[in-house]
Chain A
């Protein structure tokens, strides 16, 4: 049986200059099953962001392929990739996650709105998620009225609101103090368990890494370890 997410022979390099090339990823192979809670770790510059971007269809590898739930992402048009991201993947970035003119609730409902989900259903879902994450009191606030930790929690809520199959979080805790960092990861784990969504996040914080159930380690663009914890 094929895995939920298959990463095959992915390579990616960046051309900094005419003759300076950085190999960000070299021949990465990875299988992830539905419902896993995976951390990608490794030192800064090891290729975590690049790998997550490629898995999420935000970046295109030089070679190799990404297959998400039977759908081959590599080679899709920008428009189709937009649709795949909208319908199947949730994203949490390191910072600047939220659309600043929309309230927390509107941010959470944004992807559902894009999908054309009716306002009433959006309301019910955003209420359900924020209840789960304990952010009901934040719903009517604008992003600039929220602390960094609160913003990230809203971002996590948004990433799962439209019930994606996969949530990708690139160093979601990097800008948070360790207490909020742990709380945020606990939240993601809760969603992973209760909603059954597959989560892949990256981090180089050992405390955070310890929360995952599988650890994938990158070093200089190569996959050096892939163990269940």
Chain B
């Protein structure tokens, strides 16, 4: 019977019910969108960082990651590669040799990384090739042809076909220098990276750097990227203690930490929003319930028990909250879905995004139905909880107090 009454009340106070539902629905949609957004931006950040350059699994000589130096290189790349290739689930193994050099062009001189790569394999383990902005990507037989980051090129005032020089040291600590020519310019979107990295084809690079069969790190692409951590531990066992094998979770641990921190701030912000929503809903319910206090007094006077009044009001509030959460859930889910397919791009906000290492200010939301359901459940309980205080408060009044309430 009270279920029927609860519906009658909801229908009778159409405007009030509509406002309550609207309030709850907007809050729900907001929560769902915000968490989809946070999740999406973090996912995007990881994907970018891992796939653009750093790779899913990195193998280095022991101690190199902690304290890099030419004494801790992989000195027999060929046999390491052979070992790694025996591990099932490995797709591509590719060497890199990262060196720190000084680039100079005209009057400009800028420090940066000169990296020798296997152009064909590199195509598959990173997005270097697809980040081509102008000119052409490298081929294995290239010599002094350089593939340079867009920001580094800008700093050196270089364009396609321009010449530059570098000085550095070979792996045998000998003096190394050469004249290079810009073959291609790339822009990955990782700002720091685009501002410091340049690539040569490894065979020629090895001849200058005395680094034949030597690599500073070996990148492994798993057949199934989601199983990178498991594959890393198998490789670790296979290659033995002379090498360090790190999955992206380890190489990106700083990033993961900063994202966790970002999540914490995100949740604090959400928490504050919730507190505001909570009190708005509570005050609104308080007003709504107290405008009905005379009626409730009559109900009590003619024999409705406090528990029955509680039941009636809770049914009403649950019904409205449920409606809110469903409507808000649909709106939130639709927006999360839409923006996961058509990511939001922030033109004009590139500066802020550079702080996060992203030059491309495009962020897709994540669309995970389970998370959305979780958010809906949280919101439902929050909304019902917010109405609890007013309901209990009005129920504490004695019937005559309620009838004579002004």
B-binding residues in A (CB < 8 A): 53, 56, 58-59, 78-79, 82-83, 85-87, 89-91, 93, 96-102, 110-111, 113-114, 158
Q: Are B305 and A99 in contact (CB under 8 A)?
A: no
Q: Are A99 and B1 in contact (CB under 8 A)?
A: no
Report if B354 contacts A (CB, 8 A): no
Report if B9 contacts A (CB, 8 A): yes
Report if B332 contacts A (CB, 8 A): no
Q: Are B302 and A102 in contact (CB under 8 A)?
A: no
In chain B, positions 4-19 with a C-beta closer than 8 Å to chain A are: 5, 8-9, 11-13
Q: Are B295 and A85 in contact (CB under 8 A)?
A: no
Q: Are B12 and A58 in contact (CB under 8 A)?
A: no
Report if B202 contacts A (CB, 8 A): no
Q: Are B302 and A86 in contact (CB under 8 A)?
A: yes
Report if B390 contacts A (CB, 8 A): no
Q: Are A97 and B298 in contact (CB under 8 A)?
A: yes
Bound Cα distance from A90 to B303, whole angstroms = 9
Q: Are B307 and A79 in contact (CB under 8 A)?
A: yes
Q: Mark B388-406, 1 if CB is under 8 A from A, else 0.
A: 0000000000111001000
Bound Cα distance from A158 to B298, whole angstroms = 12
Taking a contact as CB atoms closer than 8 A, the residue among B11, B298, B307, B399 that contacts A99 in the complex is: B298
Q: Which residues of B contact A102 (CB under 8 A)?
A: 5, 8
Bound Cα distance from A78 to B303, whole angstroms = 10
Bound Cα distance from A158 to B305, whole angstroms = 18
What are 21 A-B pairs with beta-carbon distances under 8 A? A53-B400, A58-B301, A79-B305, A82-B304, A82-B306, A83-B305, A85-B302, A85-B303, A86-B302, A87-B303, A93-B403, A96-B403, A97-B298, A99-B295, A99-B299, A100-B12, A101-B12, A101-B13, A102-B5, A102-B8, A158-B302
Residue of A nearest to B300 (CB): A82
In chain B, positions 195-242 with a C-beta closer than 8 Å to chain A are: none
Q: Which residues of A contact B5 (CB under 8 A)?
A: 101-102
Q: Which residues of A contact B400 (CB under 8 A)?
A: 53, 58-59
Q: How many residues of B contact A (CB 8 A)?
A: 24
Q: Are B12 and A111 in contact (CB under 8 A)?
A: no
Bound Cα distance from A139 to B87, whole angstroms = 84
Q: Which residues of A contact B300 (CB under 8 A)?
A: 82
Are A113 and B301 also in contact (CB < 8 A) when A100-B12, A101-B8 are? no
Report if B308 contacts A (CB, 8 A): yes
Bound Cα distance from A78 to B308, whole angstroms = 13
Taking a contact as CB atoms closer than 8 A, the residue among A82, A86, A101, A113 that contacts B1 in the complex is: A113
A-binding residues in B (CB < 8 A): 1, 5, 8-9, 11-13, 294-295, 298-308, 398-400, 403
Residue of B nearest to A80 (CB): B305
Between A82, A83, A96, A114, the greatest number of chain B beta carbons within 10 A of the residue's beta carbon is seen for A82
Q: Are B304 and A114 in contact (CB under 8 A)?
A: yes
Bound Cα distance from A229 to B100, whole angstroms = 116
Bound Cα distance from A158 to B299, whole angstroms = 12
Q: Which residues of B contact A85 (CB under 8 A)?
A: 301-303
Q: Which residues of B contact A86 (CB under 8 A)?
A: 302-304
Are A110 and B302 also in contact (CB < 8 A) when A53-B400, A58-B400, A59-B400 are? yes
Q: Which residues of A contact B306 (CB under 8 A)?
A: 78-79, 82
Q: Which residues of B contact A98 (CB under 8 A)?
A: 298
Closest Cβ of chain B: how far from A46's Cβ, in Å? 17
Pick the 3 closest A-B CB pairs, nearest first: A86-B303, A101-B12, A82-B305
Closest Cβ of chain A: how far from B111's Cβ, in Å? 77
Q: Which residues of A contact B13 (CB under 8 A)?
A: 101
Bound Cα distance from A93 to B294, whole angstroms = 12
Bound Cα distance from A78 to B398, whole angstroms = 9
Between B9, B11, B12, B302, the greatest number of chain A beta carbons within 10 A of the residue's beta carbon is seen for B302
Bound Cα distance from A206 to B354, whole angstroms = 89
Closest Cβ of chain B: how far from A99's Cβ, in Å? 6
Closest Cβ of chain A: how far from B302's Cβ, in Å? 5
Residue of A nearest to B292 (CB): A100
Q: Which residues of B contact A91 (CB under 8 A)?
A: 301-302
Closest Cβ of chain B: how far from A93's Cβ, in Å? 7
Bound Cα distance from A93 to B302, whole angstroms = 10
Closest Cβ of chain A: how far from B29's Cβ, in Å? 30
Closest Cβ of chain B: how far from A102's Cβ, in Å? 7
Closest Cβ of chain B: how far from A126's Cβ, in Å? 15
Closest Cβ of chain B: how far from A113's Cβ, in Å? 5
Q: Which residues of B contact A90 (CB under 8 A)?
A: 302
Bound Cα distance from A85 to B301, whole angstroms = 7
